[in-house]
Structure 1
């Protein structure tokens, strides 16, 4: 890290004022996230250990989004500086609480109040780049199949084989149609939204690429569902039913989008992130409950 920051200082003198003090996250061989200061400003440093082009790509994307998400209740963290050759981004540190943590700490009857603001945040992010494109489900089915192969628990693998069958059935129903694509967050789960009063600020943005808009919705809902977090207390497809409606309404989905395409992505998302042996028994139990509910509702969807 010392060598990285010395290289960044040579590239841009502003990094001479950098003082990283805490490792937030380390993804071995890929990136390190640190908290510290840049001059007098609380800062998060994103250090790229591989893919040298990713640093500049993320910086450009953050600058693009910052132009229209720098005020109000739907924001992104402010990009501060970039040393692309050294592979370091400096971003404003955001006060507040990660949304999933806030939901756990909130009274049960208050949790669902955050579902529409979360949907509004995503809609704000994607709307400038939204376009229609021909449906292509192949990569999502392929990713679901790879996730199924990685599933460590036999009882979950059996359920997921049936989920894959139903998801593939839905893929056939939306073939030769169009769906909406946009530059999306890419890893849109509740803890990548920081809540402060009524404001939600997105973090871990920048690595965004064009994708069907429903993918990020499925990621958000499934992240909660497999942990047993159902803010409204009402479930459909293994996830929060009001949350699903919040995304469908905010994005003004038609019947095919709401009742076939979004369920397709929920099925794919359920399989793409396989449970591992280091998870607790309670977490595995909640994942099984979610998968059973998802499968039951997928079977009931007519095509």
Structure 2
């Protein structure tokens, strides 16, 4: 097994861990690993074959590994009731061994939405973003509800990210962002917010296009979250990684991308004008804390933040 961009010791550790589990549980040996897709302290992800079928095996680690595997199993079973057919889908759960922290799902062969967007024309880009919006609407639809928004909670979470920022100019930007978000609290606190059981990781790399469907992958446990949060994350990813060159900016990201996405997701007008900029700002703080200062995307992120601070 091999994997790009994963330190070799982690790849070897993940390979040995899976082999040990397969020796202990014969049924797990039906999975033949071909590569390690991810490996860290919380989980390891393998691509391979399960009973001859292309599959993804996820091995949860840590003190709550059984609980995490159980929650993913339950979520995949729930999604199968309404996202196993049609245009907008999620992978099928093939098997699970909760006591071992293992789930196995079908491996979707296709092109990620991120890959498709790179070479897309303007019209194709609009279509692909709209498709992503339809997928999110399908996912969220059965569990949509209204709640009262408490902005301070989200702001306090992002303040906890500050110690991770070591580059002084980025710390200046982060503090300016947090100050701007603090100033927005009176405009968002107590507002009605649309929530749903969603995963919080809605982004182009986690959507795969096939000839017949659009799949959302890397599905884990869910929690009731603001729908606008996933939209903000998706839009910021687009602007930083696959920017729209022929569009004006709004809230620091492409205004055209915003319009296309919100043309497919039923988000009330008050959330579009108040909560969307608030969550885009939160996502900017999050990305600033996660990206290395010399990362290829860091300059684009700083540019988006500066534009956000000028206009929001």
TM-score for both structures, normalised by structure 2: 0.87
- Equivalent of 1:189 in 193, 203, 219: 203
2:54 matched to which residue of 1?
42
Deviation at 1:103, TM superposition (A): 1.4
Q: For 1:76 and 1:231, locate their aligned partners in 2 and report how far apart those are by CA, in whole Å.
A: 31
Task: Confirm or deny: 8 A CA contact 2:72 2:219 kept in the other structure.
Answer: yes
Instruction: Give the aligned partner of residue 301 of structure 1.
Output: none
Cα 1:126–1:8 change in 2 (3 A) is farther
Distance 2:156 2:51 in 1: 46
1:176 to 186, 190, 193: 190
Give 1:121's match in structure 2, choosing from 135, 138, 141: 135
* Structure 1: gaps spanning 5 or more residues: 299-303
Alpha-carbon distance between aligned partners in 1 of 2:70 and 2:245, rounded to the nearest angstrom: 37
Deviations 1:109-128 (A, max 9, x none): 53232111111111110110
User: Partners in 2 of 1:237 and 1:116 — Cα distance?
Assistant: 19
- Structure 1 pair 214–7 and aligned structure 2 pair: CA distance change class (3 A): farther
Query: Looking at both structures, which has the greater relative contact order when contacts are Cα pairs under 8 Å and sequence separation is at least 6?
Result: 1
| 1:27-75 deviation digits (Å, cap 9, x = unpaired) | x211001001111210000111122200010110011012111122211
1:290 is aligned to 304
The residue correspondences of 1:2-17 to structure 2 (distance < 5 A) are: 2-9=19-26, 13=27, 15-17=28-30
- After TM superposition, the structure 1 = structure 2 runs for residues 21-40 of structure 1, keeping only pairs within 5 Å, are 21-26=34-39, 28-40=40-52
The alignment covers a number of residue pairs equal to: 293
* RMSD, aligned α-carbons: 2.0
Please, which runs of 5 or more residues in structure 2 have no aligned partner?
1-17
Alpha-carbon separation, structure 1, partners of 2:227 and 2:290:
28
Q: Note the 1:53-92 alignment, pairs <5 A.
A: 53-92=67-106
1:268 aligns with 2:285: no
- Asked if the contact 1:76/1:201 (under 8 Å) is kept, the reply is yes
Matched, 1:137 2:147: no
Q: Is the 8 A contact 1:130 1:182 kept in 2?
A: yes
Q: Are residues 23 and 250 of structure 1, via their aligned partners in 2, closer, same or farther at CA, if it must alter by over 3 Å?
A: same
Residue in 2 aligned with 1:242? 256
The SS at the match of 1:172 is: helix
Counterpart contact for 2:96–2:103, Cα < 8 Å: yes
Counterparts of 1:176 and 1:94, CA distance in 2: 41
Correspondence for 1:106: 120
Classify the secondary structure of the residue corresponding to 1:77: coil
1:198: Cα distance to partner?
Answer: 6.0
TM-score, length-scaled by structure 1:
0.89
